[in-house]
Amino acid sequence: MNETLLQMKPREAVPVAGLIVAVMGITMIGLGWVPHLSIILVMCALLVYGRWRKQPFQAMQTAMANGVVSGIGAIYLFFFIGLLVAALMMSGAIPTLMYYGFGLISPQFFYLSAFVLCSVIGISLGSGFTTCATAGVAFMGMAEAFDANPAIVAGAVVSGALFGDKMSPLSDTTGIAASIVGIDLFEHIRNMMYTTVPAWLLTALLLWLLTGNVANADLADIAAMRQKLLDSGLVHGYALIPFVLLLVLAVRKVNAVYTIIATIAAAVAVTYLHSSPSLAQVGGWFFGGYKLPEGVDLGAVGKLVSRGGMESMFFTQTIVILALSLGGLLHGLGILPALLAGIAHLLTNAGRATATAAATAFGINVLIGEQYLSLLLTGNTFKPLYDKLKLHPRNLARTIEDSGTVINPLVPWSVYGAFLPGILGVAVLDYVPYAFFCYLSLLLTLVYGFTGLTISKMPDNKEPQ
């Protein structure tokens, strides 16, 4: 980000930040406002504050624009995800995956299956968003037939997807965390295993213990839903080709956007193997989401397969734009830099360093709702301080992933928080108690920091990078 407009002191920034959090909490939780309105209200107040501090509107507008530019890639990606979901629906890829999934997944292990499979897909794709939008949608569809708790299923999906987003070498957050502190990508991934593997195993155990709730699912309902999926005309073995292509391209480290474009093209080709929609219909589906033909009433299954489209992403994209603008304005007015400078003196040992960096990344997620900024701002700020303590920078990279990347889905007004309810159909506050992997990662990184376990020092004969 660019230089700040104001040189604010921490004692000035703290009450401002506290008031922002209070306003967002009261309006969103107390009054039930959509996050957009709360963010705009805060932005208006900050613009007035900036003018009172004699800052020109143009300079503040530039700061907001810089914030949006920092996350423009995610905004573009949402367009492609909307198109991808529509394409995978019209081609039958998601309905076919669900159909076979009903036959393979036992109710006794349903929550665990959702977590494990989303973990594998997340690692392959390197994108928590794409994992939730594809496999996550399929598992949420299965939840009703298995008489499963949607909140637990969503928690399992989010946990698996964020495991992949955190650990995959294809993930942008993983690359950012490694590059911002100056370490090798695979060194970073190996070091994250100390917190990630125990968190993954504990999550698997907890979800396995919860599966008793669905052990007595009515298999007749499952059979009925499978039949309705067949009646939709979308279930075909070859419809899984787009999924296979998606995985192959991801494993080959093809850029995510190009991977999605190729998958969409394959899905459109598959669509014409079992139906003959007009180009006008296809265009309508890409914008407004796939719709079953008129007169076809499949009940809940019909609602399930009628999804996707660019329009479904507008809510998410607008909140992302506003959140990034707010982040840029907070940085431009000197509020964020002052908050970060105010806690720098707390870094006197590994435990305090870990706790302070984690609190900062966590706080940026809560204050702004943007995981990329939580990584970038925390990494940039604390890297010199870690060097002074002779702590290896891989400790910092792991900490910001455990307290930044995986925490974003737990914040209702965050990027993930805006995206997931629309995709999974479950409110953030409902699935948070079951997103075990997300907060277990944070807990373990704090425990390691204070106990010194897995905390590595810089060799005496090696200067910090």
CA atoms within 13 A on the CB side of 391: 28
CA atoms within 13 A on the CB side of 440: 23
Please name the residues in contact with 188: beta carbons below 8 A apart, sequence gap of 6 or more. 174, 177, 178, 394, 397, 398
Residue whose C-alpha is closest to residue 38's, from 48, 28, 49, 50: 28
110 shares a domain with 237 = yes
319 shares a domain with 233 = no
* CA dist., res. 434 & res. 391, Å (int): 33
Total number of domains constituting the chain: 2
Give tens-digit pLDDT for 143-201.
876 778 899 999 999 999 999 889 887 677 887 788 778 787 778 888 999 999 999 99
* CA dist., res. 372 & res. 218, Å (int): 43
Cα torsion through 365, 371, 373, 377, rounded to 10? 70
* CA dist., res. 43 & res. 333, Å (int): 11
Going from the C-alpha of 178 to that of each of 153, 297, 397, 438, the distances in angstroms are: 31, 50, 6, 19
pLDDT at 465: 44
Question: Does residue 461 sit within a domain?
Answer: no
- pLDDT band of 213, cuts 50, 70, 90: low
Mean pLDDT for the stretch of residues 90-108: 80
pLDDT at 464: 46
Positive or negative, the CA dihedral 94, 98, 100, 105 is positive
At 306 the three-state DSSP class reads coil
> Which is more confident, 203 or 349?
203
211 shares a domain with 184 = yes
Question: Does residue 62 sit within a domain?
Answer: yes
Local structure of residue 249 (DSSP, 8 states): H
Positive or negative, the CA dihedral 253, 81, 420, 115 is negative
* 220, pLDDT greater than 80: no
Over the range 252-269, which residues count as b (16 or more CB within 10 Å of their CB) and which as e? eebebeebbbbbbebbbe
* CA dist., res. 396 & res. 389, Å (int): 12
Contact 410, 439 (CB under 8 A): yes
- pLDDT band of 6, cuts 50, 70, 90: confident
Give tens-digit pLDDT for 376-386.
778 877 887 78
Please name the residues in contact with 80: beta carbons below 8 A apart, sequence gap of 6 or more. 257, 260, 261, 264
Cα-Cα end-to-end distance for the chain: 22
Biggest CA–CA distance in the chain, Å, is 75
Question: Does residue 340 sit within a domain?
Answer: yes
* CA dist., res. 32 & res. 29, Å (int): 5
pLDDT at 195: 94
CA atoms within 13 A on the CB side of 58: 0
User: Domain span at residue 121?
Assistant: 73-313
Question: Does residue 306 sit within a domain?
Answer: yes
Question: Does residue 250 sit within a domain?
Answer: yes
Residue type, position 165, single letter: D
188 shares a domain with 63 = no
* Residue that terminates a domain, selected from 272, 296, 313: 313
Please name the residues in contact with 252: beta carbons below 8 A apart, sequence gap of 6 or more. none
Give the position of tokens 């999605």.
260
Question: Does residue 457 sit within a domain?
Answer: no
**CB neighbourhood size of 360 (10 A):** 25
- pLDDT band of 29, cuts 50, 70, 90: low
* CA dist., res. 30 & res. 93, Å (int): 41
Question: Does residue 66 sit within a domain?
Answer: yes
272 shares a domain with 303 = yes
402 shares a domain with 322 = yes
Give tens-digit pLDDT for 415-456.
888 888 888 889 898 999 999 999 999 999 999 999 988 888
CA atoms within 13 A on the CB side of 134: 34
* CA dist., res. 434 & res. 414, Å (int): 18
Mean of all residue pLDDT scores within the chain: 84
* Residue that terminates a domain, selected from 258, 281, 313: 313
Residues pairing with 391 in the sheet: 457
Positive or negative, the CA dihedral 177, 180, 186, 190 is negative
Residue 181 CA to its chain's centroid (Å): 22
256 shares a domain with 243 = yes
* CA dist., res. 14 & res. 155, Å (int): 33
Question: Does residue 456 sit within a domain?
Answer: no
